[in-house]
Amino acid sequence: MLAKRLIACLDVRDGRVVKGVNFLGLRNAGDPAKLADRYNREGIDELTVLDVTATIEGRGALLETIREVSRRIFIPLAVGGGIRTLDDAKAVIDAGADKVSLNSAALADPGLVTAVAGTYGSQAVIVAIDAKRGDAGFEVFARSGTTKAPREAVAWAREAADHGAGEILLTSIDRDGTRAGFDCELTAAVSQAVQIPVIASGGAGTPEHFADVFSAGCADAALAASIFHFSEHAVRDLKVFLSEHGVPMRLDW
């Protein structure tokens, strides 16, 4: 049976993890390769490196990070943040990323989704959608949630899939950082509208939140960052909890 996936997100700036590095027992917590290695040992199903750098130097550091992580860890690796062109996608894929996550650039030019999918296959293209509840339903925002896009989340997810996206990474702006739980209604609406997998993000605070988003939210995968830093066995404990609550999980690693 196909397992639901748990994905750890590493927010990286200038080659260092910048969020959720408060775990005391871990030396060099800011080193993405070390953190990736730890998550891998704990049984994470997939990794996402999100680049929050804005500089050229930072992009160079990002590529080095991808090389370091992908040299040691043999599970899927997605990279997002600042990918605006096919050349940007090529650079991170050549460095070892299996998938690229496109957000603002896909909104500006959905043809980019088709171009990357045409070169590397749809399985290599994630379209990331940042959505917020508004008067017009689930509104889509670009540029890290700062700019409202003239789109509705469910329709945009369908359009992205039609353009060749292989997965949707759906983040609830309302829930992001709140630890109040995923927006299951948003996730279910998008997941039921497309055939491609939907990764839920934003709001993870407890194991029950994951159980909810996999059942009521119809999510195929869930992504989180800081919750995995709480304790040394956070990933393993979460997988065991979900498995005991009837969610199919990969438990061999």
Partner 1 sequence: MAIALIDYGAGNLTSVVKGFRAVGADVHIVGSLEELAGASAIVVPGVGHFAATATLTAEWRTAITRATDAGVPLLGICLGLQWLFEGSDEAPGQPGLGMLPGRCFRLSGEVKVPHVGWNTLRFSKPASRLLDGVTEGASAYFTHSYAAPIGHATAADTTHGLPFAAAVERDRVFGVQFHPEKSGATGLRILENFMGVVRGGR
| Near partner 1 by CB under 8 A: residue from 85, 123, 144, 147 | 123
Q: What is the C-alpha separation between 206 and 186, in angstroms, rounded? A: 19
Subset of residues 144 to 203 that bind partner 1, contact rule: CB under 8 A: 166-167, 195-197
- Phi, psi (5° rounding) for residue 6? -110, 125
Q: In the bound complex, what is the minimum distance in angstroms from residue 150's beta carbon to partner 1? A: 28
11 is catalytic: yes
Place of tokens 């995995």: 228
130 is catalytic: yes
Q: In the bound complex, what is the minimum distance in angstroms from residue 98's beta carbon to partner 1? A: 6
- Sequence-ordered list of residues with C-beta below 8 angstroms from that of 199, at least 6 positions apart, any chain: 5, 7, 126, 167, 168, 169, 170, 219, 220, 221, 222, 223
Residue whose C-alpha is closest to residue 171's, from 140, 210, 193:
140
Q: Choosing from 11, 51, 183, 220, which is the catalytic residue?
A: 11
DSSP structure class, residue 133? E
Q: In the bound complex, what is the minimum distance in angstroms from residue 193's beta carbon to partner 1? A: 12
Q: Choosing from 45, 51, 130, 183, which is the catalytic residue?
A: 130
Which positions are annotated as active-site residues? 11, 130
Per CB under 8 A, residues contacting partner 1 are 1-5, 40, 45, 70-71, 74-76, 93-96, 98, 120-124, 166-167, 195-197, 220-221, 250, 252-253
